[in-house]
Amino acid sequence: MDQKIIFRKTFIDGLFLIEPTVNDDERGSFFRIFCKDEFKNMGINMDIKQMNVSFNKFAGTLRGLHYQSSPSTEAKIIRCCQGEIFDIAVDIRKKSKTYLSFFSVNLSFRNKLMLFIPGGFMHGFQTLDKNTVVEYYHSDFFMKELDNGIFYKDKTLNIKWPLKVTNISERDKGLPVIDERFVGYIK
């Protein structure tokens, strides 16, 4: 049984779309979502320190755009276990050729795709189905004092969210926009 994980490069350096090899039989299916050696072979030395799950009751729920500042930036693997999400990763590495560019993808249990997001990125998603479950694997611990974000309707980014935003936290509604004071993550 081949358990290889397929890593697809995106146009943003270090950001990978991940596709597991799915083995189906009469019982159902089996697939690997993480193998330290396979990630290491792609130049990703991710030590998972925290795993989180979000359950989202309603389609149109938006979470983000969030990032953790230096020195505790974190890499993430994002996976949708139930339902479907429109997932966004925004490059905020000041010296990157793709600074303030974003990559978006639909993640679902049906397509089994995952997204690897290196440190130095903002992340957010919108649920496309009700009762959506999202898993996050983090390379660093959450540190409230370094937790930051940018408003999801920021004009500089101009993200086209697929659904009307029907559910969002008060915190996310009040996040700032990108302006001359935004320094991003400097690597």
Cite the active site residues: 66, 136
Backbone angles phi, psi at 37, to 5 degrees: -65, -45
Place of tokens 């994980």: 5
CB-CB contact of 79 with 114 (8 Å): yes
**CA-based end-to-end distance of the chain:** 40
- Residues contacting 175, CB < 8 A, separation 6+: 65, 149, 150, 151, 152
Give the integer Cα–Cα distance in Å for 77 and 46.
10
